Amino acid sequence: MARPSQTFPASLDALPLVLACVDECREGVDADTLMRARIAVEELFMNFVCHGGAQGNSLQAWLEVRCDSGRLNVSFEDSAAPFDPFADLVHASEGLDQPLELRSEGGVGRLLIKQLADSACYSRSDGRNCIELVFSPRTQMEQSTAL
């Protein structure tokens, strides 16, 4: 079932409303799928708020969550400067082998989103960053080996 797209300001105060939008699809979706979607959407929104521009400006995010046969399809858009969160993930993953104090900041959340979602893609349209994520139910074996 499709949920109408909802609009959120670039404010940390909006995070509970963003997560409530994801939670509207809890019926018919297993707990693991819902949790993976919540974590990924929270990471996207927090990156948008913290790195997309100063809080309190006119930046906005749009979120649409669609439920279909136990699968969640998430569309997250924002009006921040162009940024592909899935670009250059090889560089971010290489840093994970280094001791924490030697790692450069950033990238781990983007890797997490990519691992949590079964499909993740980025595009830019009409002045918006557009991210499409798909979360499908996973078997117990897939759940234990996914991370």
Structural domain of residue 107, as residue ranges? 6-138
Residues linked to residue 72 through DSSP beta bridges, in sequence order: 67, 135
Per-residue pLDDT tens over the stretch 98-121: 566 655 666 678 889 999 999 999
Rounded CA separation 133/114 (Å): 9
Written as one letter, the residue type at 41 is V
Within-domain flag for 144:
no
Domain membership flag for residue 147: no
Q: Is residue 67 part of a domain?
A: yes
> Is residue 145 in a domain?
no
Neighbours of 131 (CB within 10 A): 23
92 within a domain of the structure (yes/no): yes
| pLDDT confidence of residue 82 | 93
- Answer for the pair 20, 101: CB distance below 8 angstroms, yes or no: no
For the whole model, what pTM was predicted? 0.84
Give domain status of residue 1, yes or no.
no
Is 117 a member of any domain? yes
Residues whose CB is less than 8 angstroms from the CB of residue 71 and which lie 6 or more positions away in sequence, other chains included = 29, 33, 134, 135, 136, 137
Q: What is the CATH number of the domain that holds 124?
A: 3.30.565.10
State how many domains the chain has: 1
Kindly give the parts of the chain with pLDDT less than 50: 1, 141
Residue identified by tokens 């439920």 is: 67
pLDDT at site 145:
59
